[in-house]
């Protein structure tokens, strides 16, 4: 009775009106303890506890109420404890500063006790606790909650909620042990399978495993290329094993544009679309890619297994839909029905859809724990139309290995589902609206258009070398095979290094019947000429696939009747020339071809090949040119020769050849076989220091010097010349490719820049030297003969040119300029350039006999020839009053006088040759220097230009004898 009085006293104190009195909570605590421990009456204790808790909550004493409720929990009754824990959890969340984690913790405890009591309220408690733990990084607690929610939902026949809970466990980076993850996976598969049996829905649901990286999906169009067979090396083209290189991709695009431009007579079509055989996240996927009917499409899908247990995928294939469309009609053609393989892949049946698109199925695909693995799935279209790859379909099971019974159980746990391939396009950032909002463009790599049949080319290289000497000429073979059912035409090849190769003619005398017959075939064809005749005819390079203009970069491959039929093959020789610089060089080839039937969708196809060549040192050739016959005695030459050279001009060419090979390639010695030239203006006339018919031999580090006389060509004979009695035809083909269009044969455009270009033209040579050599190499105890050629381009008189390009100097740091520079003034010719306007030549006898005792004055006729080297009028002043005043010169050469007029003012037209007839007067015998006339010149149209002396430092000596 006293306990009831204390309980009622506490309640009465709480309910008393007027002056507030503190609530005597200790009365209730004493009553609860006595009911529970002494009276053993839990019903009265629970009543007293709940009443006290409500009083405390009404006074906002949630902490005390929660403590009181938690004290009443026990192991006697799960249901009573669950109710009390749930009420305690609500007390924590209703505090002035809510205690969220305590709320969630006690809700989980309440759910656990509800679950033990067999009450469905457990699902509600776990779901409320999940709202607190979700996304906070407490992965283990979150996995436990989801696992319990999944089980509870499945028990309460809520399969959708159960699948969602188990899915969340599997897709996150779980920190559970492998055993626990395997249990989660088995539970998920069981729930998933039960759900699919209950629903009976025909659609395939989404599977959470393995993780599918849609953005890393790659799509490859075309057949797998055949590998090398013996001496045959297949073109590298594009494969899925190659990593994407943006710079290299841009290089191929520019090369393809150049080839297409040549094929279309110098213009690139507006509808031009660069060929892309492999699409990925870095390629341009804004346009619909083009695929060819009857050619496979390979979709590379990247899977990742986030679990510590293996996953077993089976019956893996692509899910697609296809719209039939006929592209044979130029106006577009009719559009047919849209077909999907969803039903077939869901039921694992084979139907007539294989007549439209043959879909590859991978029977087994196992992914190890925490492994990222690539699956390559193939589609083979048999009809034209529009294809859309939607996703992948497969059976999912655990990859655990067990006994036969266990394997049977795992098979029963295998479920079938799909994952969609959803690829986000690139961020749009062009217009103002796109910049201020987040918009993404389309990514159409999975939406190819299937076009009508096109030819398919395969290229094989036979005996293609991996190492060459610099300038070495080597012969290989290239084989073209049309492996399609469509004829091929318009075969062209472009390269980033056109100087590296040239094609031979299949009907040329240089071409053996088979590649094996060419083992000891020389690279050159020698034509004997009379010893007294200088070879000036230029061999036409048309037999080597070389013409003018852009054809130096793009070469057309001659085909029989212009067509390479289905299944046909063609072998032609390929001449290679080693790069001029040592080291490893990357050579890119682009083969472009078309179909005989023009289609609106695809105009051409390409095939790529990349070769690596290691070049070793051979020879270094340096050449310089200098004016000859200036102020020099010429009495020994005939009058016809003098007049010809005065009109056309001549010069000396010095060629310095050095053996820089370090013998690492087994080279014993080099032989200089021939020196030739190619120019519109000049040709090599003869060798001043000849060595007879023998070749010049150069051992390691030896140097040889050659001097040639070059004469200006007449208009009708400009071209190439050789200093030996033979013409080597392949030499000019290789030269055309190496020089890059024969820059010396291209007319220069002159501009009105104050006469600088005209004056500069006077000192330009535009003469290219070609040096042929042979090298004797010992390899495998056999002596081989290697052949090669080097090129030197002479541009300016007196300036040395070398076959090896000089290393670029390091650029120095420059200051930033924030104001625009003032336009540079019109450049004026330098004094050195002006000194080449007029070329002078003195004609006089080398010695002259005179009877001084009978006649005291001796007069000798001298002819001064003035040649205008420019293409403009030149004003010339000849001053004969100059005398040598140097005492040293007077001691060597005597003093003389010029008779008659002492100054001449002349105007020479373009390329005009003018002769002045002078008389020199001598007073006694001796040696005299006739090179005293001073010659000044300036362009006629420039009045402000200073007159510049044309005097040469080269003396002109005459001997006067007394008889």
Read off the pLDDT of residues 380-396 as tens digits, 9 standing for 90 and up: 999 999 999 999 999 98
Distance CA 534, CA 726 (A): 9
The answer on pLDDT for 480 being more than 90 is yes
Helix locations, 740-886, DSSP H: 756-762, 831-834
Confidence grade of residue 482 (pLDDT, cut at 50, 70, 90): very high
Mean pLDDT of the 711-717 span: 65
pLDDT at residue 460, rounded to an integer: 93
What's the mean pLDDT when you consider all of the chain?
A: 77
Predicted pLDDT at 622: 92
Asked whether residue 721 carries a pLDDT value surpassing 70, the answer given is: no
Q: List the beta bridge partners of residue 678.
A: 720, 768
Is residue 255 within 8 Å of 590, Cβ to Cβ? Answer: yes
Give the β-pairing of 605-616 and 467-469: parallel
Q: Which pLDDT belongs to residue 628? A: 62
Predicted confidence at residue 566, as pLDDT, reads 92
pLDDT at 505 over 80: no
pLDDT value of residue 763: 72
331-340, 428-437, 674-683 — most confident range = 674-683
What average pLDDT does this structure show over 721-731? 50
pLDDT reading at 826 higher than 70: no
For 382, 623, 686, 714, 935, the CA distances from 650, given in Å and listed in that order, are: 71, 16, 12, 12, 20
Answer yes or no: is pLDDT of 449 > 90.
yes
pLDDT higher than 60, residue 934: yes
pLDDT for position 832: 64
The DSSP H or E segment spanning 648 is: helix 639-648
Report CA dihedral (256, 258, 264, 270) to the nearest 10 degrees: 70
Tell me the mean pLDDT in the region 32-39.
72
The four Cα atoms 954, 955, 956, 962 give a dihedral, to 10 degrees, of -170
- Per-residue pLDDT of 917-926, as tens digits, reads 999 999 899 8
Question: Over 50: is that where the pLDDT of 247 sits?
Answer: yes
Helix residue spans in 223-291 (DSSP H) = 246-263
Q: Is 246 exposed, middle or buried (0-12, 13-18, 19+ CB in 10 A)?
A: exposed
Counting Cα atoms < 13 Å in the Cβ hemisphere of 155 gives: 13
> pLDDT tens across 132-147, in order?
778 776 777 777 777 7
| Confidence tier at 355 by pLDDT (50, 70, 90) | confident
Mean pLDDT of 81-104: 85
Judged against a pLDDT cut of 80, whether residue 900 lies above it is answered with yes
Cα 872 to Cα 155, 757, 762, 829: the distances in Å are: 105, 11, 10, 14
pLDDT, average across residues 319-337: 76
pLDDT for the residue 519: 47
Q: What is the pLDDT of residue 112?
A: 80
- The whole-number pLDDT of residue 540 equals 41
Residue 922 contacts residue 847 (beta carbons within 8 Å): no
pLDDT higher than 80, residue 499 = yes
Domains for the chain: give ranges and CATH numbers: 1-202 (1.25.40.10), 212-222+277-399+414-428+439-451 (2.60.40), 458-509+533-616 (2.60.40.10), 619-630+646-715+722-734+762-802 (2.60.40), 832-962 (2.60.40.10)
Highest-scoring range by mean pLDDT, 88-92, 123-127, 192-196: 88-92
For residue 262, pLDDT beyond 60: yes
Residue 43: which region, alpha, beta or left (left: phi > 0; alpha: psi -120 to 50)?
alpha
Give the pLDDT of residue 403.
39
Q: Which residue has the higher pLDDT, 61 or 621?
A: 621
409: which DSSP letter?
H
Q: Mean of the pLDDT values across residues 497-505?
A: 84
Higher-scoring residue by pLDDT: 20, 339: 339
Percent of the chain with pLDDT over 70: 73
The residues that bridge with 440 in the sheet, in sequence order, are 427
pLDDT-based confidence at 717, cuts 50/70/90? Answer: low
Confidence of residue 408 (pLDDT cuts 50, 70, 90): very low
Spatial distance between the Cα atoms of 544 and 57, rounded to a whole number of angstroms: 102
| More confidently predicted of 885 and 843 | 843
Helix or strand (DSSP H, E) at 874: strand 874-879
Residue 605, classified by CB atoms within 10 Å of its CB into exposed (0-12), middle (13-18) or buried (19+), is buried
Whether 543 shows a pLDDT value over 70: the answer reads no
pLDDT at residue 1, rounded to an integer: 42
Token couple for 290: 């083009």
User: Can you give the pLDDT at residue 379?
Assistant: 94
Q: 788 in the Ramachandran plot: left (φ > 0), alpha (ψ -120 to 50) or beta?
A: beta
pLDDT at 549 over 80: no
Least confident of 573-587, 660-674, 865-879: 660-674
Nearest Cα neighbor of 794 from 773, 767, 774 is: 767
Could you report the per-residue pLDDT of 145-192, keeping only the tens digit for each?
Answer: 777 777 777 767 776 677 767 777 677 667 777 888 787 788 777 777
């Amino acid at each position: 009775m006293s306990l009831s009085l204390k309980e009622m006293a506490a309640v009465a104190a709480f309910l008393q009106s007027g002056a507030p009195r503190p609530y005597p909570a200790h009365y209730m605590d004493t009553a609860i303890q006595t009911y529970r421990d002494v009276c053993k009456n839990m019903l009265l204790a629970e009543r007293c506890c709940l009443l006290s808790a409500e009083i405390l909550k009404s006074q906002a004493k949630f902490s005390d109420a929660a403590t009181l409720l938690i004290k009443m929990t026990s192991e006697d009754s799960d249901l009573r404890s669950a109710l009390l824990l749930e009420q305690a959890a609500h007390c924590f969340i209703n505090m002035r500063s809510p205690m969220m984690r305590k709320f969630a913790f006690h809700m989980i405890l309440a759910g656990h006790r509800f679950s033990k009591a067999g009450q469905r309220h457990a699902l509600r408690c776990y779901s409320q606790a999940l709202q607190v733990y979700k996304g906070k990084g407490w992965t283990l607690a979150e996995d436990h909650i989801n696992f319990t929610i999944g089980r509870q939902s499945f028990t309460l026949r809520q399969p959708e909620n159960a699948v969602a809970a188990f899915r969340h466990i599997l897709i996150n980076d779980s920190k559970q042990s492998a055993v626990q993850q395997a249990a989660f996976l088995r539970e998920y598969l069981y729930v998933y399978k039960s759900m699919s049996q209950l629903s009976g829905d025909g659609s395939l649901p989404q599977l959470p495993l393995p993780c599918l990286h849609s953005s890393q999906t790659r799509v490859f169009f075309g057949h797998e290329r055949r590998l090398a067979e013996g001496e045959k090396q297949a073109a590298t083209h594009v494969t899925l094993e190659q990593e994407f290189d943006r710079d290299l991709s841009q290089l191929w695009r520019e090369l393809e544009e150049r080839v297409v431009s040549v094929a279309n007579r110098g213009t690139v079509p507006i509808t031009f679309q660069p060929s892309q055989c492999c699409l990925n996240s870095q390629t341009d996927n804004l346009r619909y890619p083009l695929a060819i009917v009857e050619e496979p499409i390979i979709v590379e899908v990247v899977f990742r297994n986030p679990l510590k247990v293996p996953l077993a995928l089976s019956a893996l294939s692509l899910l697609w839909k296809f719209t039939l469309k006929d592209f044979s009609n130029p106006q577009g053609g009719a559009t047919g029905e849209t077909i999907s393989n969803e039903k077939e892949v869901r039921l694992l049946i084979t139907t007539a859809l294989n007549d439209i698109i043959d879909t590859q199925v991978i029977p087994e695909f196992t992914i190890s724990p925490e492994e990222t693995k690539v699956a390559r799935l193939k589609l083979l279209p048999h009809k034209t139309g529009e294809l859309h790859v939607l996703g992948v379909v497969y059976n999912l099971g655990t990859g655990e290995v067990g006994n036969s019974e266990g394997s049977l159980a795992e098979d029963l746990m295998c479920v079938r589902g799909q994952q969609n391939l959803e690829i986000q396009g690139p961020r749009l950032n062009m217009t103002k609206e796109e910049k201020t909002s987040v918009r993404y463009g389309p990514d159409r790599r999975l939406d190819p258009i299937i076009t009508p049949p096109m030819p398919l080319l395969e290229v094989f290289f036979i005996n293609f070398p991996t190492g060459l000497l610099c300038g070495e000429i080597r012969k290989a073979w290239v084989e073209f095979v049309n492996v399609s059912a469509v004829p091929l035409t318009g075969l062209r090849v472009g390269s980033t290094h056109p100087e590296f190769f040239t094609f031979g003619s299949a009907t040329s005398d240089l071409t053996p019947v088979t590649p094996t017959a060419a083992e000891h075939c020389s690279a050159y064809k020698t034509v004997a000429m009379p010893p007294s005749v200088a070879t000036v005819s230029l061999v036409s390079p048309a037999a080597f696939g070389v013409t003018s203009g852009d054809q130096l970069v793009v070469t057309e491959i001659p085909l029989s009747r212009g067509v390479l039929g289905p299944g046909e093959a063609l072998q032609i020789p390929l001449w290679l020339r080693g790069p001029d610089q040592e080291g490893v060089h990357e050579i890119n080839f682009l083969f472009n071809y078309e179909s005989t039937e023009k289609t609106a969708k695809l105009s051409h196809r390409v095939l790529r090949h990349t070769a690596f060549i290691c070049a070793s040192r051979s020879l270094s050739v340096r050449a310089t040119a200098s004016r000859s016959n200036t102020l020099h005695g010429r009495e020994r030459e005939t009058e016809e020769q003098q007049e010809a050279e005065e009109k056309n001009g001549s010069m000396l060419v010095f060629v310095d050849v050095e053996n820089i090979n370090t013998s690492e390639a087994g080279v014993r010695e080099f032989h200089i076989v021939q020196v030739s030239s190619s120019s519109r203006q000049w040709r090599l006339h003869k060798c001043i220091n000849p060595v007879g018919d023998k070749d010049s031999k150069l051992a390691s580090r030896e140097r040889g010097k050659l001097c040639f006389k070059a004469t200006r060509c007449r208009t009708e004979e400009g071209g190439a010349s050789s200093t030996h009695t033979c013409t080597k035809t392949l030499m000019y083909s290789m030269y055309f490719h190496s020089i890059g269009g024969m820059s010396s044969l291209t007319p220069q455009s002159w501009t009105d820049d104050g006469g600088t270009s005209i004056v500069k033209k006077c000192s330009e040579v535009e003469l290219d030297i070609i040096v042929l050599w042979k090298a004797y190499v010992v390899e495998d105890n056999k002596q081989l003969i290697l052949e090669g050629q080097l090129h030197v381009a002479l541009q300016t008189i007196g300036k040395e040119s070398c076959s090896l390009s000089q290393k670029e100097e390091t650029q120095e740091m420059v200051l930033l300029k924030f104001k625009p520079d003032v336009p540079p003034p019109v450049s004026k010719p330098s004094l050195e350039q002006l000194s080449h306007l007029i070329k002078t030549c003195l004609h006089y006898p080398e010695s002259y006999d005179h009877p001084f005792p009978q006649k005291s004055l001796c007069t000798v006729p001298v002819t001064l020839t003035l040649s205008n080297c420019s293409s403009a009028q030149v004003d010339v002043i000849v001053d004969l009053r100059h005398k040598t005043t140097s005492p040293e010169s007077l001691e060597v050469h005597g003093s003389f006088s010029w008779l008659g007029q002492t100054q001449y003012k002349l105007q020479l037209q373009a390329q005009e040759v003018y002769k002045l007839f002078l008389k020199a007067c001598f007073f006694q015998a001796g040696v005299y220097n006739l090179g005293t006339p001073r010659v000044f010149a300036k362009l006629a149209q420039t009045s402000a230009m200073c007159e510049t002396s044309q005097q040469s430092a080269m003396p002109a000596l005459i001997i006067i004898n007394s008889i």
